[in-house]
Amino acid sequence: MRLATWNVNSALVRLPRLLPWLDERAPDVVCLQETKLSDEAFAEAFDAPLKERGYEVAHVGEGRWNGVALLSRVGLADVERALPGAPLFADALEARAVTATCGGLRVTSVYVPNGRSPDDPHYAYKLEWLAALRAAVGDPATTVIAGDMNIAPTDDDVWDPALFVDSTHVTPPERDALAALQGLGLHDVVRDRWPADRVFSYWDYRAGRFHQDMGMRIDLVLAGADPAGRVAATWIDRKARKGKGPSDHAPVIVDLDTAPDGDIGPVVPPPSTPAKLPHRR
């Protein structure tokens, strides 16, 4: 089984890239984030081409913002279209999680709130949302939580830790919430496979940050004992971040049971000395 997660930063904009990517990489289960479409608009644009490729689909959207989806060629059962116990923000339930059983695994596609800044109400909402996510985990052994966590687990997961002091994504409460989630028995399978490598999944569009590898690792696949024990390969699909009209995130791919020919590891560009620019995501 090949599982992938990708924050596409607008599914409709990324449609010309997403469908060829599905054909090329042939994932069995795909977690998408930031579709930025209503359920009706997603169905109109994607149901037919995804069905042609053998995917069942569960999408939860709200239109202009957020939106998550699960695509599966190995079954899509017991779909939950909201995170149980999820808090509201501005009196609204945001489209940030969808869960289903796919190939015997309980898979959740998540788009964790950004947090904006530590003194913003969105930050407290982020921590409450993460607490609800932890409480919603059923059997950790067969759980996979994949998506844009909007948290860099350690300082090794940002290109220059000094630039992120007092910013979201790296604060102790956020990292503690992520650690508590992993404490249920979930493994960060990319970091397990590449413990000492520079591995990023997100690069701001500005100032050539991708080409200088000024990135962050905030897109994670957290897997319980069953899938984690079956991991044969994990890799960041940097090719999908190149060329015309990419998302600012690259897909994270996990191969269970069988590795592709030549495990595709983190491909890091030559070292450079980039200008120190503030991060304002």
Best CA proximity match to 233, nearest among 249, 204, 256: 256
How many CB atoms neighbour CB 169 within 10 A? Answer: 22
User: What is residue 74's predicted lDDT score, i.e. its pLDDT?
Assistant: 98
Best CA proximity match to 114, nearest among 168, 153, 155: 168
User: What is residue 264's predicted lDDT score, i.e. its pLDDT?
Assistant: 63
> Per-residue pLDDT for the chain (281 aa), expressed as one digit of tens each?
999 999 999 999 999 999 999 999 999 999 999 999 999 999 999 999 999 999 999 999 998 899 999 999 999 999 999 999 999 999 999 999 999 999 999 999 999 999 999 999 999 999 999 999 999 999 999 999 999 999 999 999 999 999 999 899 999 999 999 999 999 999 999 999 999 999 999 999 988 899 999 999 999 999 999 999 999 999 999 999 999 999 999 999 999 999 887 656 554 443 333 333 333 22
Cα–Cα dist 78/134, whole Å: 19
Cα–Cα dist 220/174, whole Å: 14
Characterize the bridge pairing of strands 56-60 and 29-33. unpaired
pTM of the entire structure? 0.93
How many CB atoms neighbour CB 203 within 10 A? Answer: 22
Question: How far lies 100's CA from each of 38, 114, 187, in Å?
Answer: 19, 24, 19
Percent of the chain with pLDDT over 90: 89
Task: Name the CATH topology of 2-256.
Answer: Deoxyribonuclease I; Chain A (3.60.10)
Could you give the angle at the alpha carbon of 206 between the alpha carbons of 204 and 207, nearest 5°?
A: 120
Cα–Cα dist 184/224, whole Å: 8
Best CA proximity match to 98, nearest among 136, 70, 129, 120: 70
- Specify the amino acid at residue 28: D
User: What is residue 207's predicted lDDT score, i.e. its pLDDT?
Assistant: 80
Cα–Cα dist 34/19, whole Å: 16
- Specify the amino acid at residue 148: D
User: What is residue 275's predicted lDDT score, i.e. its pLDDT?
Assistant: 34
Containing 199, the helix (H) or strand (E) segment is: none
Cα–Cα dist 110/209, whole Å: 25
Cα–Cα dist 34/67, whole Å: 5
Best CA proximity match to 113, nearest among 136, 134, 97, 91: 97
Length of the chain as a residue count: 281
User: What is the strand order of the sheet 29-33 is part of?
Assistant: 56-60, 68-72, 29-33, 2-7, 252-256, 231-236
Cα–Cα dist 175/224, whole Å: 19
How many CB atoms neighbour CB 189 within 10 A? Answer: 24
Containing 216, the helix (H) or strand (E) segment is: strand 215-216
CA of residue 203 relative to chain centroid, distance? 14
List the domain boundaries for the chain. 2-256
Cα–Cα dist 6/230, whole Å: 21
- Specify the amino acid at residue 255: D
How many CB atoms neighbour CB 277 within 10 A? Answer: 14
